[in-house]
């Protein structure tokens, strides 16, 4: 009886083993051992190669994407620069013509801003667009473009003085003198002193318009002291002598910094 029980048990195990290939099987001596699934060993050997291949493909795809982005950006920079150059040439030519048609030039600069918003050219185009609007006697549109330019160039101390100076001049044309003075004062505070001489001159001009000659002369004197070689200094001197014919210009300082040209 005992033999039959053992035999039955062995038979059950064999049946179980045959119905479940992944389970342990019983050997002829009654011992058991694990047998892997058919083909599993081969797959296990191949898995590292598969993973490495996938990683390589992902890395390659990443490099390709970066290169595509870089190439696309470079292409857009070149296209925007070519468009800007064309528009600037037309702008310069039209400045010599009082009856110039500014519409086509305005459209070119707008195309630079809208089609290539992240390009270097799009950071400069609003200056030209504002100038065109001022030529067309549309100062509020000019102000809008200049504010857009300020946003595009936030933190760039090389180009921001040009935007603030243009805003000041535009506000002068709108007779908003307080805002004009605020813009010109900003220009004088930039570290590179770009357009600072023009800003001091325009501050003096604002005070002339406000019929405050003492403040006008004060700022003209600042201009002469800080930037004696500036072309605006001689114009300032003409007003000073007109107000006070006996006044003499202050001697220039021994060493005076020259205005930094914009790049």
Distance in angstroms (rounded) separating the CA atoms of residues 234 and 10: 117
- Give the model's pLDDT for residue 48: 58
Residue 115: pLDDT above 50? yes
The confidence band for 239, taking pLDDT boundaries of 50, 70 and 90, is very high
Mean pLDDT within 79-100: 84
Q: Where are the beta strands (DSSP E) in the chain?
A: 25-26, 32-33
Tell me how far apart the alpha carbons of residues 152 and 148 are, in angstroms, rounded to a whole number. Answer: 6
- Compute the distance between CA of residue 232 and CA of residue 210 in angstroms, rounded to an integer: 20
Fold of the domain spanning 180-253: 1.25.40
Q: List, for residues 180-211, the tens digit of each pLDDT value.
A: 999 999 999 999 899 999 999 999 999 999 99
Is pLDDT at 151 greater than 90 in this prediction? yes
Per the model's pLDDT, the better-predicted residue between 14 and 229 turns out to be 229
Phi, psi of 37 (to 5 degrees): -65, 145
Give 226's pLDDT tier (boundaries 50, 70, 90).
very high
Cβ-contact 186, 205 below 8 angstroms: no
Mean pLDDT for the stretch of residues 227-252: 80
Give the mean model confidence (pLDDT) for residues 1-29: 43
Q: What is the rounded distance in angstroms from the CA atom of residue 125 to the CA atom of residue 114?
A: 10
pLDDT for residue 25: 43
* Top-confidence range, 62-76, 113-127, 245-259: 113-127
Q: Is the pLDDT of residue 233 over 50?
A: yes
Residue environment code for 89-99, b if the CB has 16+ CB neighbours within 10 A, otherwise e: ebbeebeeeee
Give me Rg for the CA atoms of the chain: 39
Q: Is 109 exposed, middle or buried (0-12, 13-18, 19+ CB in 10 A)?
A: buried
Cβ partners under 8 Å of residue 61, min gap 6: none
pTM of the model: 0.67
- Which pLDDT score is estimated for 188? 96
Residue 252 falls in which region: left (phi positive, over 0), alpha (psi -120 to 50) or beta: beta
**Greater pLDDT, 1 or 148:** 148
Judge whether 158 and 191 are in contact, CB under 8 Å: no
Tokens 């014919």 correspond to 245
What is the C-alpha to C-alpha distance for residues 189 and 102, in angstroms, rounded to an integer?
Answer: 34
Look at residue 203 in the predicted model and tell me its pLDDT. 97
Q: How confident is the model at residue 3 (pLDDT cuts 50, 70, 90)?
A: very low
Report the C-alpha gap between 48 and 57 in whole angstroms. Answer: 14
pLDDT attached to residue 46: 53
Position 19 confidence tier, pLDDT thresholds 50, 70, 90: very low
Q: Are 191 and 161 in contact (CB under 8 A)?
A: no
Least confident of 49-63, 126-140, 144-158, 198-212: 49-63
Which helix (H) or strand (E) covers residue 163, if one does?
helix 160-173
For residues 188 and 196, the answer to whether their CB atoms sit within 8 Å is yes
What 8-state DSSP symbol labels residue 156?
-
Which band of pLDDT confidence, cut at 50, 70 and 90, is reported for residue 12? very low
The more confidently predicted of residues 60 and 180 is 180
Q: Where are the domains of the chain?
A: 72-154, 180-253
**41 vs 162, which has greater pLDDT?**
162
- Give me the mean pLDDT over the 142-171 stretch: 96
């Amino acid at each position: 009886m005992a033999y039959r029980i053992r035999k039955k048990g062995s038979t059950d195990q064999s049946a179980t083993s045959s119905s479940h290939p992944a389970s342990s099987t019983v050997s002829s001596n009654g011992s058991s051992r694990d047998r892997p699934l058919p083909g599993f060993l081969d797959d296990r050997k191949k898995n590292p190669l598969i993973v490495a291949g996938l990683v390589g493909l992902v890395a390659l795809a990443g490099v390709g994407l970066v290169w595509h982005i870089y190439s696309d950006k470079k292409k857009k920079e070149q296209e925007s620069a070519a468009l800007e150059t064309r528009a600037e040439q037309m702008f310069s030519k039209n400045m010599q013509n009082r009856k110039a048609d500014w519409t086509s030039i305005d459209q070119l600069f707008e195309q630079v801003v809208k089609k290539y918003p992240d390009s270097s050219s799009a950071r400069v185009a609003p200056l030209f667009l504002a100038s065109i609007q001022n030529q067309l006697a549309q100062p509020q549109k000019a102000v809008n473009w200049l504010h857009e330019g300020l946003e595009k160039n936030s933190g760039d101390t090389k180009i921001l003085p040009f935007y603030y100076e243009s805003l000041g001049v535009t506000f002068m044309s709108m007779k908003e003198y307080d805002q004009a003075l605020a813009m010109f004062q900003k220009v004088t505070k930039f570290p590179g002193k770009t357009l600072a001489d023009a800003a001091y001159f325009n501050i003096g001009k604002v005070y002339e318009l406000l019929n405050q000659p003492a403040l006008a002369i004060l700022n003209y004197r600042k201009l002469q002291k800080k930037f004696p070689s500036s072309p605006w200094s001689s114009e300032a001197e003409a007003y000073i002598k007109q107000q006070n014919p006996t006044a003499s210009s202050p001697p220039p300082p021994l060493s005076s910094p020259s205005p930094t040209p914009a790049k």
